[in-house]
Structure 1
Amino acid sequence: MTIEVPGGHRPALARIVKIEQDKFAAAHWGRAPLLCRAADPAGFTDLLSPDAVDELLSRRGLRTPFLRVAQEGKVLPAARFTGSGGAGAEISDQVVDEEAMRLYAGGATLVLQGLHRIWPPLIDYARELGAELRRPLQVNAYLTPPASQGFSTHYDTHDVFVLQVDGTKRWRIHEPVLADPLEKQPWGGRADEVGATAQGEPALDVVLEPGDALYLPRGWLHSAQAQGARSLHLTFGVRALTRYAIVEELLAMAAQDARLRATLPFGLDVGEPDAIEPELTETVEALRDWLAGTAPAEVAERLAARDWPSARPEPVAPLRQLDFADALGPADTITVRGGLRWRIAEDGADQVVLRLTGRTLRFPAYCAAALRQALGGEPTRVGDLLLDDDADRLVLARRLLREALVVPA
């Protein structure tokens, strides 16, 4: 089960997309850039601020790859800004704050990567935004010195939301040289086309100020340069799930068909078009016949196995969770863990199967209604679970807590 947004209300997305979301979905999502000017003077400093960047670089013990440094279009070796963690930390790739400072002062851009895993405000916001988009997110921050540019014109193979936090940055955006590129089609393979297109008139040439947000679909060329002061912006990368992913799963499933597993004729010259033509025709017919009987449920199962592990549910506090489970009573309230992906299926007359990311749990069949209730998204009083008595309710609730499927409400 993917996360439902009650009543279609999407507060995380509405914060950065200032047009009606139906219009955004129809006219911009995966199609065209969108610039939204700041509506809140505070901007996005609650998510990340210059002070937060200082803390991350100096006090959080960051290791690679949580920091990347770029200068004049090139990524610098990690050895330039990492070193020993010191006594008690047997690692050699911890960020050295003074080295990061020297590189930044010399014109390098500092890229804080994976902030959706290490900075609490972004952990929460990225989870909320990902739930509304139904897509996994990655969050990076780019700290660029005045009048500097960390990366040359390029495109990404994922959509991005750019949130300007501090300072100003000029963005030059050009139309794609390859529409909707897949992850295995990075811009480096088309560097000449990208460079030539970047010399032309941009489709969009804008300066982002604090609180502004910019949406770019994958494939759109872009470069960005800080203006008169340093620039700090966040980039939310939205991983695409494409029709090609369906094709890949269908091809994997096609291995079940004996006609498609058949050996090609003895001595066939596969480099000769006339020789391969009848085999190609028969293969296409066999594939068409097999696809006609493909069940959507099996495709959905495979896509879920591919997609679900890409996004983590909300963090769980282990000690609080276990203490709550030990002291649990009928008057206590639980709620599903935010971002949890699940699906319930019957397994004979006596059991139901709860399918999760990377694991499967089994429960007595009479627990099915209570499971759906506990995982349905609304806080639930333990004493109100749809079971016959409090003893069964407590057993189920404690198991759900210890399996980290629900949390204290």
Structure 2
Amino acid sequence: MANHAFADLVGDEQVFFTEYFNKKPMLRKNAVPGDPRDILSLRKLDQLVNLEVIRPPYIKVNLKGDGVPEQGYSRNVVVQGQTITDTVDPEKIYELYRAGATVTWCSLNHIVPEMRDFTRVISEKMAVRTDTVAFLTPSAKKGYPPHHDPVDLFIVQLEGSKHWKLWNPPTPRLGNNAQYTLEGLGEPEIEVSLQPGDVLYLPYGTPHAATAEGSGSLHLSIMMRPRMWRDLLRETLDDLVGADVFNEYPHIGEARAADVEAVFKEKIHELVARLESVDTSAELDRLADLGRHLPGSSKGNTFQAIADMDDMGPASRLRRGKAPLAFGEDDNGRTQLTVNGHKIAVPTPIAETLAALGPDASITASHVFPGVDELRSAKAAQGLTRLGVFELVPAG
């Protein structure tokens, strides 16, 4: 799958955040570069539905506005002598689709690595939990009645076309799911037939309705779960009340001591003081970083990294890793390091090499331990790399 940028979805980011974000829906025609099927295609969904491991609720089916019970499209399979219940039955899914049902693929970023990469682009920018849901709707069929969702949405049309009607979010904004009638909604703010590569943005609570056209429709909904001020403040409070000063166990029942209320007031004053001393810029950065690492967008390459470490030689190029590192004093030629909270002692020449290595600098493994032969230096570098003190610089 091609790499995509946040700007592919929103265009000019300043215009998006100023005029549309959290305010009103937005339409961008021909927004996605290249072939949208590279993101997700009918062929890929055929491959997925025929796996023996997909289970509800990763797939949901809706027929004539009603959800089909999971028993209507699932079966049991036996894996290594163990029965796995409620796996998706491909033929039953196909039968329901032929009958006019919409097939919804939930949280594809849990299953498809390419989807995970795609959602991470949005998570990095928006600092929220992000999930991808694919909607496969037969020709001329309505998937769901007019409704709104409690999440922000990017809609990316991938195959076929779909006719959309969107209305501005109501005032006051409603946080939960809700259904509407077309008569009650009036004239839409946007009415459009989405073609492959077109993108819609819907702020949370935006009423919308959609009907597939032509040969059926496949679109991707990228769901961004809003973090309200109350959510952010709760995370800040949770961090502050983790201090030792609040780690006491009072008795607050009917027989509580006379001074408990006074102590409670002291704790409240302490918490207020800590809130008032918060560095708001740094705290928002911390909260944003937390939002970028919520479930659904994690990544890693530990298996490959360990294999690369096993092949490390004197010529391997290294840079400082991400593990927190603190230096102790020299004690008879050995210096204590604290790595991720763990204490280790290394020859002082290695500690001096680490201390002199800037954040953007790199070094060959043969130079990590000055004064010894290349193989011994490389062996020491390998051990430190396993601890996260170093990381390998990618070739090229």
Fold shared per TM-score above 0.5 = yes
Q: 1:94 to 1:368 in 2, by over 3 A?
A: farther
TM-superposed deviation, 1:236: 1.1
One-letter code aligned to 1:209: Q
2:92 maps to what in 1? 99
Task: List aligned pairs for 1:360-399, cutoff 5 A.
Answer: 366=351, 373=359, 383=365, 390-399=378-387
1:125 maps to what in 2? 118
Q: 1:118 to 1:250 in 2, by over 3 A?
A: closer
What's the secondary structure of 1:235's corresponding residue?
strand
Q: 1:329 to 1:287 in 2, by over 3 A?
A: closer
Match of 2:16 among 24, 28, 43: 24
Higher alpha-carbon deviation: 93-102 or 36-45:
36-45
Match of 1:201 among 180, 183, 187: 187
Q: Distance in 2 between matches of 1:346 and 1:47?
A: 43
One-letter code aligned to 1:236: I
What's the secondary structure of 1:52's corresponding residue?
helix
Q: Kindly, what percent of the aligned residue pairs are identical?
A: 25
Cα deviation digits, residues 333-373 of structure 1 (max 9, x gap): 57999xxxx7847598754554xxxxx77777959769984
TM-superposed deviation, 1:324: 2.1
Task: List aligned pairs for 1:156-305, cutoff 5 A.
Answer: 156-177=149-170, 185-188=175-178, 191=179, 194-195=180-181, 198-252=184-238, 253=240, 291-294=275-278, 296=280
Match of 1:72 among 51, 64, 75: 64
Q: 1:311 to 1:230 in 2, by over 3 A?
A: closer
Q: 1:295 to 1:215 in 2, by over 3 A?
A: same
Q: Distance in 2 between matches of 1:140 and 1:370?
A: 48
Q: Distance in 1 between matches of 2:57 and 2:182?
A: 31
What's the secondary structure of 1:131's corresponding residue?
helix
**Contact 1:35–1:214 (8 Å) recurs in 2:** yes
Q: Distance in 1 between matches of 2:122 and 2:367?
A: 30
Cα deviation digits, residues 229-275 of structure 1 (max 9, x gap): 310001111233332222223554469788xx999999xxxxxxxxx
What's the secondary structure of 1:84's corresponding residue?
strand
Gaps of 5+ in 1: 1-9, 267-280, 355-359
TM-superposed deviation, 1:292: 2.2
1:151 maps to what in 2? 144
One-letter code aligned to 2:212: A
Q: Distance in 2 between matches of 1:109 and 1:60?
A: 21
**Contact 1:164–1:213 (8 Å) recurs in 2:** yes
**Contact 1:345–1:352 (8 Å) recurs in 2:** yes
Q: Which has the larger radius of gyration?
A: 2
Q: Distance in 2 between matches of 1:105 and 1:284?
A: 62
One-letter code aligned to 1:63: R
TM-superposed deviation, 1:396: 2.1
TM-score (ref. length: structure 1): 0.71
What's the secondary structure of 1:124's corresponding residue?
helix
TM-superposed deviation, 1:315: 4.7
TM-superposed deviation, 1:311: 4.4
Cα deviation digits, residues 110-145 of structure 1 (max 9, x gap): 011222132243233333443344444211110001
Q: Distance in 1 between matches of 2:123 and 2:291?
A: 16
What's the secondary structure of 1:91's corresponding residue?
strand
Higher alpha-carbon deviation: 128-137 or 106-115:
128-137
RMSD between aligned residues: 4.3
Gaps of 5+ in 2: 255-264, 330-335, 371-376
**Contact 2:163–2:191 (8 Å) recurs in 1:** yes
TM-superposed deviation, 1:40: 6.3
Q: Distance in 1 between matches of 2:23 and 2:190?
A: 14
Match of 1:310 among 280, 295, 299: 295
Q: Distance in 2 between matches of 1:164 and 1:177?
A: 25
One-letter code aligned to 1:115: L
**Contact 1:155–1:222 (8 Å) recurs in 2:** yes
TM-score (ref. length: structure 2): 0.73
**Contact 1:330–1:394 (8 Å) recurs in 2:** no
One-letter code aligned to 1:146: S
One-letter code aligned to 1:32: K
1:5 maps to what in 2? none
One-letter code aligned to 2:158: V
1:51 maps to what in 2? 43
**Contact 2:320–2:357 (8 Å) recurs in 1:** no
